[in-house]
Structure 1
Amino acid sequence: MNILLVEDEPPILRELEHYIKKFGEPYHIIATAADGQKAMELIDKYQTKIDYLLTDIQIPMVNGLELVEYVKSRYPSIICSILSGYNDFSYVQKALRLKILDYILKPIEEEVLQNQLKDAYESKCLDYAKSEIITGYTANSSFSQELSLNYRQLLINIGQFSYKSDQYLEEKTANVHFKTLESTLRLFWNQFIKYWIIRDKNCHTYFVLFSFNKKQLENCNTFFRSLYDTLSHKFPMVTVICSEEQITLDTINPSIQKLSKYTDKKILFAKSSFMQMNSIENKTDAQVPEYSVQIDNIMQLSKHFLNGNRNTFHTELKHFIKELELKPVKQKTLGIYLLTLFTECTVPYLHYDSVQKIEPYNIVNDVLMLSVSYESLYANLISIFDDILATIINETGNIKDKSTTFLQINDYIKKHYTDTINTKIIADKFGFTPAYLSKLFREYKKITPSEYISELRINKAKELLTNNSSLSVKEVAAAAGYEDQLYFSKVFKKLVGITPKAYQLGQDKSS
């Protein structure tokens, strides 16, 4: 990513250059300027070879805000950030109206700067993925020059495939996954020119775009297989799906969509796998015949459940899960089986208020995401079905006891949400399975335990940012229970709508 630095104080400029060079790949300082007029000349010279502009506000000739306005009107693909020692919200308001990436206050913190560059780089990658036809990049663009090479794309899914957001993956695990993936790719650096990691909406899935020269392209399938073998030794479960078609600048997004749809249909439950998706692949999924083979077993299971034969239901469910494990089964097919089973077991009792609260789709998704094996799948299902059976046998279904239990769990989370805590830790503490704990939370709070913990942490962060303006974002993140400042900033922006720094500046102004 090519960076233009604009700063009129030599010591600060040297500090910025030192930090960015220290960060290494993929950051490159293409030019520097000490005033706004010189910066404009450089921008007109390099045009879209510049990917990121970091400028001070108070610079000679043309100030930083005017410079950003000039850039946005002529080169909208350039990402801009403001650097300033002025903690004045009027500056912030104008900068935000210009749609800058962020507003960084002096003195510069190395970690804050590094996080800014990561955000800018990730935003640049996502530009490729989210646009059907990417505009604003000409043949002179550094990215365009690289993209003129041969391109292939991979989907890498770590753990279970999630149909929703990242609510099932804890922060620490997500960071470990990403760092392990990056370090693994660096082991194979000589087998490709460059790569871009594009994170999906959930933290389980990554799209990796590779550029190859003609000679490397001949062996890229072998390289993909080697990459999968290495990853499968580092993760308990990983799926790698490669597209056999070459990617061009305007087909990145369609390729991602194809890989996502293919994964949705083909990924296996609780099993690592390597797959190749070719352009001739049959677009329909042969799940109807597969489903019809098991429908008799599902109907028989539901009869045992509805008759209140708890032990028989347990035994037959165990046989059913074992039979699926021997195949193994596609995750989507398994989801259809479980959704059918939940529906058949609950439909006759929907006149009970407590049964009406059961949301089969959410329960099935929770079970799939919180089960790391067929054995844990069985344990999660048993705990949930036993609870539903108790509710059906007695309309109150121990609701009072469940309410008391939930209040105890809620109190525990409120006392420990800033600690290292996740759904599994809480479930183990109270003797539940993770899937049952998630069901209990959906019943009483309409959200998952992870989402509740995030809410508490972000509310704590807002309180700290409001009452302690001297605290850095890193300190606030740590006090709220986040080890990773970048991850904290993303969660904060997702829930609040603005970055922690912008929120803090707004609170300072209002006070």
Structure 2
Amino acid sequence: MYRILIVDDEKEERNVIRFLLNKFRFELEIVEASNGKGALEELAKNPTDILLTDVKMPFVDGMELATIVREQHPEMEIIFFSGYDDFNFVKKALTLRADNYILKPVKPEEFKQTMTTVIDNIKKHKEEQEKREINQLFIKKHILYRLLNQTPIDVLLNEYPYVNFDFLNDYNRMILIHSDTTFLDNLFEEEIVYLYEQIKEATLDSKYDVINLNPFQIIILFKENPKKLITYRQIAVQIQKKIQSANGIDCVLSISERISSPNQIAQTYSDLEDYLKDRFFYSDVFIYPIDTPLTNREEYKKDEYILQEIEKELQQADTERLQQKIAAIIQKYEKSTETSQVYLRFLFARLLQLFFQIMPEYSKDNMNRYIELIYSYTHFSDIKRTLLDVQNKVIKKLDKEKNSPKHIIEVVKQYIIDNIENDLSLDMLAEKVYLTPGYLSDKFKQETGLGINKYIKQVRMDKAVELLSNTNMKVNEISKAVGYKNASYFIKIFREHFGVSPKKHREMKKL
């Protein structure tokens, strides 16, 4: 129902308008004011769709009132009615974009026609506004969808120059809802609506946007949360329970760290997926990451870094460095009395998981048996013995595979990354691994899907973007740092690759 404010200093005139509105059955909420000052007070309290005002009034006359209203409420419909058939009044009314000017005494049919036109205008404007909002919402969700799928922000800025990307700054936290079944494909439309209602109930008054990322996953992007009494972990627990009980969907959720920049959104989604890898160890845990019992969060981060390094050594079959890092992590915790036993079992179970990725011939049941052993041991020495036993088997396997094409390609890829600032060529790389250029080229493309030169260019561009985003280095310095001695040539290659110059790319990142 629309709302109309009738403003006239004479009660009888207001009664006439009210009578006509009821006579012609206009479904309107009717409010009155006896002068312009009272009208402004009423408008400040409640939104109004139509202002129907007399011209001559004490305190604030109709023209002054309309001028203020037009500035503060540009979409409001304005109708003047007055006993003065004066051209100057009409002219002024036109400048204020009034919808009509009705003379007193009001003629019923003229009044009916005016009100019908005004109400039709309101309906039309609201429909157009709804369409604009739907289109904007669709575009924003599409941008979020592509951003979550690793499309760089600068690419999106180029594709949607008419969109204000400031909305991305509103997001400060993300929750990933994941199921091992394609639950979104299996739900009817009304069931999806009900699913969203369950999420809304669980999040209380939190402001958020929802993206159906794929049939397995929903992403919730939270804005500033006014409910400080409830944590995001508590919200996640409520969502999981409601979805399970109301929709019968088995799901797990992961909660992000705080997001301080739109540039972090894509990486945050990757982190949320990484958190769910720990499900392997916990069949009865539904919210990730698991609260670590470590009192020093920095130590946990150091361990994560070491695990990443161990994974790299496994990929490159660098058995010497692998043994050094395993020995270091064993030494770190062998005599530790402050670290939780739960965390130690979790850490070394993850190490075993990395080992078994190198030995696909071992069944999942076999791997589970080893991990169950880790969780059953009461002494660290037993964990150490089991880990070293599996490590020895892995090293034997890696030593046999050191001359395999896959390992050689990993060595070449790492050499390119480590020496990206230098001149790199197929002949030089082939010489490093004692192969002919033709054979290396064929095997590299077979293993990676890319030619060596294209891979080198991709690494150079990725490194250039990293330096542009995270340092204050000049473009010519970055050019040299990624292996281009000629800055002009570097700028040309960069523009061909990303569609913008390095300078423009850096400027867009700062927006």
Q: What is the TM-score normalised by the length of structure 2?
A: 0.30
* Higher gyration radius (CA): 2
Identify which of structures 1 and 2 has the higher relative contact order when contacts are C-alpha pairs closer than 8 Å and 6+ apart. Answer: 1
Q: What is the TM-score normalised by the length of structure 1?
A: 0.30
